[in-house]
Amino acid sequence: MTVLANQADIDMMWQEAEARYKNTEDNLNSKIPYSIFHTDDWENTTVSAKKLSTYVNNWNEKNQNEKTGTYTGFESLALQWQNMQQANGLLLLLTVLCGAVFYTFSAGFIYLRLHSDLKRDEQQYKMLFKIGLTKPELHKIVARQLRVMFFLPLFVAVIHSLVAFLALQNLLDFNIWQNVGIVIGIFIIVQAVYYFFVKHQYLKQLRRIMK
């Protein structure tokens, strides 16, 4: 049997063999020859693994014999990883779509809330202007309120997601943190752009009212 593996797979197979069989004669698989290829860049071995898998399957069709126990098997971490990605592709697509829908709903809710509270804020800021509030001070107050409204929920969501991804990483054989960082970074950038857009529009409305 040939296994195309990384170091984690080799260590796991060795530990299981030691724990399960104290005497090699008790292990029926001890007489089966194993060939293990350890590669550092196993993610890039998909093409080679497919060729080897096809070759092994063709060999089994011609030479496999159940009576004599003649059989050759092949496993590849790269192929398992690829199959898992394909199986989870639909789930990932649905998750992204649901996340986009909820994000759009949240953004629209914040924007509508600001405009619905504009009349109340107008009265408050008029009173503050009468007692000497300047435009730079107005900008600081509005920016502080909007930062809390925009980034506090995002911060909580990022912490919650990191805990969930940490648990997910323990179940997987490959590193997901690079992709996680990219996704979180995109959300932060989009939220920041939306924050500056809303702040500009909101201050524009207030300045027009105060004239």
Neighbours of 184 (CB within 10 A): 16
Under 8 Å CB-to-CB from 38, ≥6 apart: which residues?
5, 6, 7, 10
Question: What does the angle CA 42 – CA 44 – CA 47 come to, to the nearest 5 degrees?
Answer: 110
CA distance 156 to 62: 59
Once rounded to an integer, what is the mean pLDDT over residues 47-63?
82
Contact between 80 and 53 under an 8 Å Cβ cutoff? The reply is: no
- Band the pLDDT of 52: cuts 50, 70, 90: confident
Residues 93 and 79 in one domain: no
99 with 185, same domain: the answer is yes
Q: Are residues 177 and 154 in the same domain?
A: yes
Domain extent, residue 66, equals 2-84
Sheet holding 74-76, edge to edge: 35-38, 2-5, 74-76
Is 209's pLDDT higher than 70?
Answer: no
pLDDT at 179 over 60: yes
74 to 32, 37, 77, 80: CA distances (angstroms): 13, 11, 10, 11
Q: Are residues 80 and 97 in the same domain?
A: no
Co-location of 144 and 102 in the same domain: yes
Assess contact for 23 and 17: CB atoms under 8 A: no
Confidence of residue 164 (pLDDT cuts 50, 70, 90): confident
Q: Which stretch of 9-18, 33-42, 103-112 has the lowest confidence by average pLDDT?
A: 9-18
pLDDT (0 to 100) of residue 1:
46
Both 79 and 110 in one domain: the answer is no
Domain boundary among 54, 84, 114: 84
Residues 76 and 113 in one domain: no
79 and 96 assigned to the same domain: no
The answer to whether 33 and 2 are in contact (CB under 8 A) is no
pTM: 0.57
pLDDT at 18 over 70: no
pLDDT band for position 193 (50/70/90)? very high
pLDDT-derived band at 196, boundaries 50, 70, 90: very high
192 and 122 within one domain: yes
Segment 31-45 shows an average pLDDT of 72
What's the average model confidence in pLDDT over 77-99?
A: 72
Single residue among 84, 105, 121 that ends a domain in this structure = 84
Are 78 and 97 found together in one domain? no
Boundary residue ending a domain (64, 84, 104):
84
Q: Do 56 and 107 reside in the same domain of the chain?
A: no
**Same domain flag for 180 and 151:** yes
How many domains are there within the chain?
2
Return the percentage of the chain with pLDDT > 70, whole number: 74
**Ranges 57-61, 174-178, 190-194: which has the least confidence:** 174-178
Give the CA-trace dihedral at 196, 200, 205, 208, to 10 degrees.
160
Across residues 42-71, what is the average pLDDT? 78
**Residue 185 DSSP SS3:** helix
